[in-house]
Amino acid sequence: MKKKALELNLETLSRIASLNIRATKLVEGLLSGHHRSKHTGSSIEFADYKDYSPGDEIKHIDWKMLAKTDKHQIKQFEQSSNLKATILLDASGSMGYESPNLKNNMSKMDYARTLVASLSYLLLKQFDAVGISIFNKTLIRHVPPRSKPSHFKHILHELAVVSPNGITKLEDAIECMVERLPSRGIIILVSDFLTKETGIEKKLKLLVSRGLEVILFHVLDSDEVSFPFKGDVVFESLEDDSSIELDPEDIRETYQRSIQDLIEYYRSHCTKLGIDYKFLQTSTPLEQGLLYYLLQRKNLGKH
């Protein structure tokens, strides 16, 4: 039993390390080729105490605390800003689709994980506060926004341990998050949007009405767009127990049209609502998605 727990721990640590390397390398590479935006509106605020150790600045010792407890406590501060960002990541079963022929591409979930990690790292580099919420039919995990650099490791851990399963309830996830979100800030939604729900537009409108900046990253595996399958194939749902056997050739054209209609639906409605929308296939280098983010959100800190 202990061996199994150790293997799981090592696997998780390996996934965290890999995700950390991908995200930091990707963001630092992009930032090195672009001027970093000037960050305004930030301040320094008290965060916590820690025990004094040699090398710490004496000026940060809390003398009142010393008088009360006879302990040397150091005040810790962190950079804060007016901007708080929350990233919602869809972890429903459909996000677990993995092409049988990945080649040099990442699986859809790894692609989405890396995107979320990279966005988080980028925001923290700007001294902005960022948090993540992971959902399927309910809110699975919620990490509140914080701005200190060490917060990144908590985000990486949550991303590393998440396992896609269950059905998508995007409307419920947004409804659940509304009261948790600040009246001003940014909400970034990362999902494949493969859901039968019909009221998502209203929920997006609700977010905008609260003064939030909304960004949608629509992530699909390349197979889900091109539908390259051949021969008689049994397609099994990743979100329930249903399955169907058919010849892909019979429905390929109709399927591809439906996917394009889905993409156009979100693109058009986002445009009407003033929401940034970016469609990404797993075959598209993630650098392109982040380059879009950098160029479009260069004044991120100005509200």
CA distance 238 to 241: 8
Q: Judge whether 263 and 280 are in contact, CB under 8 Å.
A: no
The pLDDT value given to residue 49: 64
| Nearest in space to 163 (alpha carbons), one of 193, 130, 136 | 136
Predicted confidence (pLDDT) at residue 128 exceeds the cutoff of 50? yes
Half-sphere exposure of 35 (CA within 13 A, CB side): 5
Q: Is 275 helix (H, G, I), strand (E, B) or coil?
A: coil
**Mean pLDDT, rounded, for 43-49:** 55
CA angle 16, 17, 23 (to 5 degrees): 85
The pLDDT value given to residue 244: 79
Q: Tell me the CA distances in angstroms from 66 to 58, 61, 72, 261, one per residue in order.
A: 12, 8, 6, 65
pTM of the entire predicted model: 0.79
Question: Where in the sequence of the chain do the CATH 3.40.50.410 domains occur?
Answer: 19-36+83-296
Structure token digits, residue 54? 């040699």
Whose tokens are 């935006």? That residue is: 37
Confidence of residue 52 (pLDDT cuts 50, 70, 90): low
Provide the CATH number for the domain formed by 19-36+83-296 in this structure.
3.40.50.410
Tell the burial category of 215 from Cβ atoms under 10 Å away from its Cβ (0-12, 13-18, 19+).
buried
Q: Judge whether 216 and 270 are in contact, CB under 8 Å.
A: yes
pLDDT in tens, 155-178: 999 999 999 999 989 999 998 888
